[in-house]
């Protein structure tokens, strides 16, 4: 970028420039090109107006720039995101930056500056279009990019920026953040992070398994299976991949047995619908609910031991063998079976 007061040029980190507003190249200049008052009022505060929680991400002003960016960058790298409320690509990039910075686990911070309210710093740095991101290290701008880059490229940029820091593992930290998001129910954000890792490192077992889990939680088992099938052979036995494969197998087994809700409704309508109860027992066992599975089979034996040539008792003995003699479910169900048979 030209007119850089610090005398530093960006070292190859520039992405393609995005246009500013209204689709006109260069119309997003830092010091000009504002929308009219009515348009700005209608868009103000959308997407980027509020500061993100925590110390890693904050908004800054012209007066606070020295402390928030220049001084703070002596502790760790600081990314400065120059944006404006009317900038569509800014609204795409900022959430990506926030996720990537959080995933970096404190190795980099993000400071956002609204150029409509604070144009002078962007002007001094020669910003011509937004979004524009500057990386400051030890008080100086050392790298940067323009445009709404994909999440994988943003993560790679941060990885290069923090490569010299001790313990830096952006991939591992991104996976930790993604798994946390997934456990908290934020499937969409988790999927974006897992996907970004896969773009950066195709075939990564943990990221493949994580993204497949996102598909499963979204009800898309077909895409989950397709993703797991693409995992390289040398990573196919990874515990996370194996766990997803087991879940997919379980879904297939349950699907063959029928809809549990419909089976339960049949049973509630007719307590002697032994076929429905038998299938519910198989579904419960497939889900790992051994007590419920045994309970259904024992109830069939109690009501009609002769059902389907003693199928309930024979299946129960088969489950005992699979569960093992010392399993609590086996021991309890054997006791109840003895009571039924020899009462």
Catalytic residues: 87, 90
Distance CA 85, CA 290 (A): 56
Instruction: Compute and round to an integer the Cα radius of gyration of the chain.
Output: 29
Distance CA 289, CA 282 (A): 10
**Cβ 128 vs Cβ 69: under 8 Å:** no
Closest CA to 142 of 50, 70, 202: 70
Q: Are strands 78-83 and 109-114 parallel, antiparallel or unpaired?
A: parallel
Distance CA 153, CA 105 (A): 18
Largest Cα span, the chain: 94
Going 292 to 298 to 300 to 302, the CA torsion angle's sign is: negative
**Cβ 68 vs Cβ 77: under 8 Å:** no
């Amino acid at each position: 970028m030209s007119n850089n007061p610090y005398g530093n040029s960006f070292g190859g980190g520039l992405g393609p420039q995005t246009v500013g507003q209204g689709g006109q190249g260069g119309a997003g200049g830092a010091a000009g090109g504002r929308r009219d008052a009515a348009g700005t009022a209608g868009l103000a505060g959308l997407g980027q107006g509020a500061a993100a929680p925590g110390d890693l991400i904050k908004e800054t002003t012209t007066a606070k720039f020295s402390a928030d960016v220049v001084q703070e960058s002596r502790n760790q790298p600081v990314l400065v995101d120059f944006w404006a409320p009317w900038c569509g690509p800014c609204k795409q990039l900022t959430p990506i930056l926030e996720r990537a910075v959080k995933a970096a686990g404190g190795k980099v911070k993000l400071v956002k500056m609204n150029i409509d309210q604070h144009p002078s710093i962007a002007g001094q740095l020669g910003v011509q279009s937004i979004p524009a991101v500057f990386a400051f290290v030890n008080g100086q701008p050392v790298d940067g990019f323009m445009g709404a880059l994909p999440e994988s490229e943003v993560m790679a940029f941060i990885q290069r920026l923090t490569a010299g820091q001790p313990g830096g593992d952006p991939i591992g930290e991104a996976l930790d953040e993604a798994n946390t998001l997934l456990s908290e129910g934020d499937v969409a954000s988790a999927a974006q992070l897992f996907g970004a890792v896969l773009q950066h490192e195709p075939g990564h077992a943990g990221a493949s398994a994580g993204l497949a889990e996102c598909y499963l939680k979204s009800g898309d088992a077909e895409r989950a299976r397709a993703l797991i099938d693409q995992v390289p052979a040398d990573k196919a036995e990874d515990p996370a991949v194996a766990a997803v494969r087991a879940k997919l197998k379980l879904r297939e087994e349950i699907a063959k047995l029928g809809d549990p809700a419909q089976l339960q409704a049949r049973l509630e309508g007719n307590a002697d619908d032994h076929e429905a109860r038998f299938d519910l027992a198989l579904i419960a066992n497939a889900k790992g609910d051994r007590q419920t599975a045994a309970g259904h089979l024992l109830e069939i034996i109690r009501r009609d031991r002769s059902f389907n040539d003693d199928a309930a008792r024979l299946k129960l003995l088969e489950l005992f063998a699979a569960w093992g003699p010392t399993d609590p479910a086996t021991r309890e169900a054997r006791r109840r079976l003895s009571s039924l048979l020899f009462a």
